[in-house]
Chain A
Amino acid sequence: MTEGSLHTSDAAARKLRKRYAAERRFRLYGACAIGLAMGALVLLLVTIAWRGVPAFFGHEVTIDVDLDAALIDPEGTGDPEVLGRADYSGLVKQALRAEFPDAQGRREKRRLYALISNGAAYALRDQVLADRTVVGTTFRVRVPLSADADIYFKGGVDAASAEGDRRLNDDQIRWLDRWAALGKVENRFARRFFVGGDSREPELAGIYGALVGSLWTLAVTLLLSFPLGVAAAVYLEEFAPTNRLTDFVEVNINNLAAVPSIVFGLLGLAVFLNFLELPRSAPLVGGMVLALMTLPTVIIASRSAIMAVPPSIREAALGVGASPLQVVSHHVLPLALPGILTGTIIGMARALGETAPLLMIGMVAFIVDVPEGPTSPATVLPVQIFLWADSPERAFVAKTSGAILVLLTFLVAMNLVAVVLRSRFERRW
């Protein structure tokens, strides 16, 4: 051993090794933490996708319906109103009886009808109204199967289990197998899911109504919270004097950001519904409640974006004789905008995923119609998910996951927009 200097001695080398070991350990911990988080995320997404993607498809069966002109349009007027009033449900049932004449008793017939969705009659009517020439012919039409039959084809029914344990009895399974053997059953992309409103029949339920409700609600939230939030942030950062009052306001804004969202819902119930008597279940009120909830987030994000604008820019603008308002509107706001927008979009994404406060103001109702404006009754995506998750029908399990997929897609898209905005408009100085 040579005599080392202070930094080359054995003791120093040992210390150095320990330092490197500590660093390696630290990196390992970090990698483990990220690995765990990624694993959990992948697991979540895979499970939801596994369950949710089948909701985007539905089995349909092709049946031949005898469109007897005497039943549909006895006088041969061709009047759409007459055509629309005809008993298509009866025609579909008649077609089913013709297909399976072995279904005899009342109970058995009802089992047969249960294979087809209630929506089949509407599908038939729509096609007849679209093309009146089919009246009087034997018309081949594709109609959705009922949710139970759909689940059978998706592999959700064990035909070997005891008859009493399943939703379909042996006859029903036999009929379905016949259809399948004849190649009449098809698994098709379910447009209904994306363009339809809610329904008690799982195979007919769609999320479009909830989606439109969410968009109206978010529009109201954005219109209220963005201008208010930015104006408040600009005033607090650029104009307000520092004193007890502004300190108090600042502390309270930070506190409001941490208030549980259901409290805002109760506030909305008490003030907007009971005191101001605004319409119940409406996106207008939902948006106002969510705006209250998002406001602190927008203010805090905007303030930090404004604070990040270097003071030298303000001095430069003041130095050439810009008024304080010009300093803000010409220089500070444009430079802070990417940060403000990022904060706002993240706040909006949070509002999009919010359920609890909307339950308080009645946006939890079962609503079939697609909302037409901010005051028509509506529900929103997360509440729709909550409603479906709460439904007893098994087919709603897939619907729930499907709706979650749609919601997640929107959230990811919004966050992506935030990232793109930030990188596109970020300025260096």
Chain B
Amino acid sequence: MTATSATQLRSPLYLTKLTTRDLDVFYGDKQALFSVNLDIRKNQVTSLIGPSGCGKSTFLRCLNRMNDVIESCRVEGKITLDGEDIYREGIDVVQLRARIGMVFQKPNPFPKSIYENVAYGARIHGLAASRPELDEIVTSSLQRAGLFEEVKDRLEEPGTGLSGGQQQRLCIARAIAVQPDVILMDEPCSALDPIATARIEELMEELRENYTIVIVTHSMQQAARVSQRTAFFHLGIVVEEGETPQIFTDPKDPRTRDYITGRFG
């Protein structure tokens, strides 16, 4: 199964995958993000934590320009993916979203078969030249999402018939079938029970090898478990960002300390 993607060399030095510089986001007159500067490192899991409405999801949706769909939304500043400004004129948003996949808060499989759900992205991007190749992509994506064993006998059944946890893993399989560089996850476990959550957290650890992952979460335990770096958002600004153990054991900012100790949030 390693045939489908080149395994990255694990170098002790990190590489920066995504950077944001002076990122301001407005919804109409209301400013949601204030001058956010953040580096997302390659092959790491970066957690975005913070109270509701602090701008974590807004930030995440800027990274693959999902905010373009919202008419009142205005983005200023600079976001680069591998050094390329993704908001510059002439960037192909469709191609960008193929490079930066996304998993949503609520599992949202297409009302099609399990196979079609996974095959869809690969098909529209022309990643498979033949049916056997497409089968291979579907199988390996489901395997990497840890779902293959559970659904291998019923690939033609609707994806909406799976349980919540399985649906979310199906969505992850759908995202990785496109072979993106980055996977954005917007509270992927908020609708799942602890067992399904544990399964997806394991998965993130495995996926990190090939992908860069950014996850928004409300669970600080989850952030501590799965991520290497954590950014704490509050009222639209990044209060503190750093190594996850440092953020949770030795926060520099009093607001971070208050939040992680449960004083507010």
Binding site for B on A (CB under 8 A): 241-242, 310, 312-323, 326, 330-331, 335, 427-429
Contact = CB atoms under 8 A, between A and B. Distances in A.
Contact of B104 (A312, A322, A331): A312
Contacts of B178: 320-321
Given A242-B71, A314-B69, A318-B97, 19 more contacts: A312-B106, A312-B108, A313-B108, A313-B110, A315-B102, A316-B174, A317-B120, A319-B66, A320-B101, A320-B120, A320-B124, A320-B177, A320-B178, A321-B121, A322-B94, A322-B120, A322-B124, A331-B110, A428-B160
Contact of A318 (B66, B111, B175, B177): B66
29 contacts: A313-B110, A315-B69, A315-B104, A316-B109, A317-B110, A317-B120, A318-B66, A319-B97, A319-B102, A319-B103, A319-B104, A319-B175, A320-B120, A320-B121, A320-B174, A320-B177, A321-B94, A321-B95, A321-B96, A321-B97, A321-B125, A321-B178, A323-B94, A326-B124, A330-B124, A427-B111, A428-B111, A429-B111, A429-B160
Interface of B: 64, 66, 69, 71, 94-98, 101-104, 106, 108-111, 120-121, 124-125, 160, 171, 174-175, 177-178
Contacts of A319: 64, 66, 97, 101-104, 175
Contacts of A312: 104, 106, 108
A321 B69 CA distance: 13
A317 B69 CA distance: 12
Nearest to A319: B102
Contacts of B104: 312, 315-316, 319
Contact of B110 (A242, A316, A321, A428): A316
A332 to B, nearest CB: 11
Contact of B111 (A241, A314, A315, A335): A335
Contacts of A320: 97-98, 101, 120-121, 124, 174-175, 177-178
Contacts of B69: 314-315, 318
Nearest to B160: A429
Please name the 9 residue pairs, one residue from A and one from B, whose CB atoms are nearest each other, closest first: A320-B121, A321-B98, A312-B108, A319-B102, A321-B97, A316-B108, A427-B111, A323-B94, A429-B111
B69, B103, B160, B171: most-surrounded residue (chain A CB, <10 A): B69
Contacts of B103: 319
A315 B174 contact: no
Contact of B108 (A241, A315, A322, A335): A315
B64 to A, nearest CB: 7
Nearest to B178: A320
B106 to A, nearest CB: 6
Contacts of A323: 94
B101 to A, nearest CB: 7
B188 to A, nearest CB: 12
A162 B112 CA distance: 77
A330 B123 CA distance: 12
A320 B108 CA distance: 12
A306 to B, nearest CB: 15
A347 B124 CA distance: 35
Nearest to A314: B69
A315 B106 CA distance: 11
Contacts of B106: 312
Nearest to B120: A320
Contacts of A321: 94-98, 121, 124-125, 178
Nearest to B69: A318
Contacts of B111: 313, 335, 427-429
A331 B109 CA distance: 11
A11 B81 CA distance: 71
B66, B97, B178: most-surrounded residue (chain A CB, <10 A): B97
B119 to A, nearest CB: 11
Nearest to B161: A428
A322 B101 CA distance: 11
A321 B182 CA distance: 13
Contact of B120 (A318, A330, A427, A428): A330
A316 B171 CA distance: 8
A312 B227 CA distance: 26
A312 B64 CA distance: 16
A316 B110 CA distance: 8
B115 to A, nearest CB: 15
A314 B108 CA distance: 10
Contacts of A315: 66, 69, 102, 104, 108
A377 B67 CA distance: 56
Contacts of A322: 94, 120-121, 124
A330 B171 CA distance: 17
A428 B101 CA distance: 25
B61 to A, nearest CB: 9
Contacts of A314: 69
A364 B150 CA distance: 67
Nearest to B97: A321
A312 B177 CA distance: 19
A321 B181 CA distance: 13
Contacts of A330: 120, 124
A319 B104 CA distance: 9
Contacts of B177: 320
A315 B69 CA distance: 9
Nearest to B65: A318
Contacts of A428: 111, 160
Contacts of B121: 320-322
A319 B175 CA distance: 8
A182 B97 CA distance: 89
A319 B64 CA distance: 8
Contacts of A318: 66, 69, 97
A314 B111 CA distance: 12
Contacts of B71: 241-242
A317 B120 CA distance: 9
Nearest to A322: B124
A322 B95 CA distance: 9
Contacts of B160: 428-429
Nearest to A428: B160
